[in-house]
Amino acid sequence: MRVFPASIPLDGRTVIVSGAGFMAEAKARLFVGSPARLKWFTGTDTDPVASDIAQHAEVIRREPTRRDFRGANLVFIAGGRDHVIARQAREARAKGALVNIVDSPKGSDFQTPALVDRDAMVISIASGGAAPVLSVDIRSQIERLVPPRVGILADLARELRDTVKSVLDKFDDRRAFWERALRGKARDLALSGDKAGARREMLRELNADGPAPSGIVHLVGAGPGDPDLLTIKAARLLREADVIVHDRLVGDGVLDLARRDALRIDVGKTKGHHPVPQDAIADILIREARKGQRVVRLKGGDPFIFGRGGEELEAVRAAGIEAAVTPGISAALACAASSGIPLTHRDHAQSVTFASGVVKKEGPDVNYQALATPNATAVFYMGVGAAPEIQSKLLSAGRAGATPIAIIENGSSDNERTLTGILGDLAGLVDRAGVKGPAIIIVGETASLAAAQPVEAVENFA
């Protein structure tokens, strides 16, 4: 560790910024809304100061003198002639201030880290001035992961800390309380903006004056497999989950985002092999939630697109368990985008329909007449094994045998491949290319736009 990113309380502190221009403005803006007294010496610069800073700072249109540094704690010097910078730094240090000279790590007492500011919760990323651009990039990634209202939780923790100590004498008991309070229902209320409700829930938990907290089931879309395509909310729920019930198609890269101590239950299915029946999956979700656990049902793609999420949602709610749905990027959208296939196009397709290649036994079949409509795109899930039937039924419904098709196998993964051909050769293409799945099949004129070399097609179709 080359630098130590210490936290400096700002209550009652004085911060001075010296200089004009965007660098000085950036330093001054760091302290807008903080409890520190902010004084900005802009020299003789006459450009207007941004209103959010002007309302919070003393803007002084001259250079600071030795007396101005009296009582200052942090001083930022942003630009100017070398001898002026050196004089200001010397005078500020003589008054006991720590000095930061912008773009001069060696001449500074400290460097300004990249900050993720959530009010009471502040995260700093420091490179010791070596790579500020890299620090900013990392900050952007963290910004996406940290909920905007997490500072409410930190505020409540500070406000209630003495109360918790007075009720719970033992350190281990206090730690257990904070783990429940900051990861349970109070957290959900705070992140929704309900600070009063979060406070009541924390006090209820502290006094245990009500029923034990019930669990919750989150149906979460894991996307097509690439962890980078997981939504921010889905990643957060994974980190918070006590129990994760996942499908076979959920990759290790996604599961690696979960807590190490979370219970993981694999309920994956393959064609003709369902080791955990659908009813049993619902029973697992209900059983774990009744223990007060935060359960994430992690499903490939989107839970409500051929993921049987609707059935699981009904079962969980019928059992009196709270349930919520977090959508994911569906395989159709991800695979099409990865292959450069627009599912709609003003010249080629005015509509798109998602269909399943496998339907419920003795249930209604897919409306192939509607799927055969010209100038439309049809996307089939679970269609590899049903390729001969899909081909035959679409042709019988009037779809031209020369209609372009694309098969995207293992979409968004390292071994993704895209095959193109024509509808009249769909079954033959699947057989010759040895397509095993998971894969989606796209039928329609837009499939010809795929970024792939077509596999040799056979045109002697019926």
pLDDT digits (tens, 9 = 90+) for 336-370: 998 999 999 999 999 999 999 888 777 788 999 99
Please indicate whether residue 269 is annotated as part of the active site: yes
Round to whole Å and give the CA distance between 87 and 99. Answer: 12
Residue 455 predicted with pLDDT over 60: no
Q: What is the pLDDT of residue 207?
A: 86
Is residue 40 helix, strand or coil? Answer: strand
Q: What is the pLDDT of residue 45?
A: 80
Q: Write the pLDDT tens digit of every residue in 276-301.
A: 888 899 999 999 999 888 899 999 89
Q: What is the pLDDT of residue 330?
A: 92
Q: What is the pLDDT of residue 458?
A: 45
Residue 322 predicted with pLDDT over 60: yes
Tally helices (H) and strands (E) across the chain: 16, 17
With CA atoms as reference, report the closest residue to 397 among 421, 414, 374, 363.
Answer: 374
268 contacts 215 by C-beta, under 8 angstroms: no
Q: pLDDT category, 452, cuts 50, 70, 90?
A: low
83-87, 225-229, 261-265: segment of lowest average pLDDT: 225-229
Mean pLDDT value of segment 369-395: 93
Which of 95, 195, 233, 269 is catalytic? The answer is 269
Q: What is the pLDDT of residue 61?
A: 93
Q: What is the pLDDT of residue 460?
A: 42
Q: What is the pLDDT of residue 209?
A: 56
Q: pLDDT category, 100, cuts 50, 70, 90?
A: very high
Residue 438 predicted with pLDDT over 90: no
For residue 326, give Cα distances in angstroms to 221, 277, 279, 309, 332: 6, 23, 21, 11, 17
With CA atoms as reference, report the closest residue to 303 among 291, 290, 314, 319.
Answer: 314
Q: What is the pLDDT of residue 459?
A: 46
87-91, 179-183, 352-356: segment of lowest average pLDDT: 179-183
The model's pTM is 0.66
Mean pLDDT value of segment 208-216: 67
Residue 184 predicted with pLDDT over 50: yes
Round to whole Å and give the CA distance between 290 and 287. Answer: 5
With CA atoms as reference, report the closest residue to 82 among 104, 60, 65.
Answer: 104
186 contacts 202 by C-beta, under 8 angstroms: yes
Please indicate whether residue 302 is annotated as part of the active site: no
Mean pLDDT value of segment 311-326: 94
Q: What is the pLDDT of residue 13?
A: 96
**381 residue type, one letter:** Y
Residue 457 predicted with pLDDT over 50: no
Q: What is the pLDDT of residue 461?
A: 43
Tabulate helix, strand, coil % of the chain (nearest 5). Answer: 35, 20, 45
Mean pLDDT value of segment 137-146: 85
With CA atoms as reference, report the closest residue to 220 among 250, 190, 193.
Answer: 250
Which of 247, 299, 302, 425 is catalytic? The answer is 247
Mean pLDDT of the chain: 89
Mean pLDDT value of segment 14-20: 96
**291 residue type, one letter:** K
Q: pLDDT category, 273, cuts 50, 70, 90?
A: low
Round to whole Å and give the CA distance between 234 and 325. Answer: 10
Q: Write the pLDDT tens digit of every residue in 31-50.
A: 998 999 999 999 988 788 88
Residue 453 predicted with pLDDT over 60: no
The percentage of residues in the chain with a pLDDT greater than 70, rounded to a whole number, is 95
Q: What token pair was written down for 447?
A: 């499939």
Q: What is the pLDDT of residue 403?
A: 95
Residue 139 predicted with pLDDT over 70: yes
Mean pLDDT value of segment 3-10: 87
Q: What is the pLDDT of residue 176?
A: 82
124 contacts 6 by C-beta, under 8 angstroms: no
Residue 274 predicted with pLDDT over 70: no
